[in-house]
Amino acid sequence: MQIEMLRTKLHRVTTTRADLNYEGSISIDRDFMDAAGLFANEKVDVLDINNGARFTTYVIEAERGSKTIGVNGAAARLVQTDDKLIVISYCSIDINDAPTHKPKVVLFDDDNVIKEII
């Protein structure tokens, strides 16, 4: 049997852009993607800490070192620049592996600098 588990999390990352006129997705700095192990086009859930909005989208790569977290397209109506977000990806694993599964969690400060990777 398979079970869905947290795979990666960007915790308290700050929105740098909300662009209604851009192709829908979330733009994430390539450094942040690498730190979390996220892939371009990977499905993610986005949770807005400021207003409680939750939505599903996919990742597109933003310029490495830019500190960009850009919410694009229709989802841009759900966030504001400077909102704190949690970006989550999941994986399916064998239920027998669940007790030892360790997700990768990347913690951010208020300036989108990585504080810690757990």
CATH of the domain at 81: 2.40.40.20
| pTM, rounded to two decimals | 0.96
Nearest-angstrom CA–CA distance, 98 and 67: 32
Supply the range of the domain harboring residue 90: 2-94+102-117
Nearest-angstrom CA–CA distance, 93 and 41: 20
So what's the pLDDT on residue 23?
A: 78
Q: pLDDT by residue for the chain (118 residues), tens digit each?
A: 999 999 999 999 999 999 999 877 999 999 999 999 999 999 999 999 999 999 999 999 999 999 999 999 999 999 999 999 999 999 999 999 999 999 999 999 999 999 999 9
Tokens of 35: 């730190």
| Active site residue ranges | 25, 58
At residue 12, what is the residue type?
Answer: R
Q: Please, are residues 12 and 86 in contact by the beta-carbon 8 Å criterion?
A: yes
Please choose, from the candidates 104, 117, 100, the residue with its C-alpha nearest in 3D space to the C-alpha of residue 38: 104
Q: How many domains does the chain have?
A: 1
Please choose, from the candidates 105, 107, 29, the residue with its C-alpha nearest in 3D space to the C-alpha of residue 67: 29
So what's the pLDDT on residue 111?
A: 97
As a three-state string, the secondary structure of 9-33 is EEEEEECCEEECCCCCEEEEEHHHH
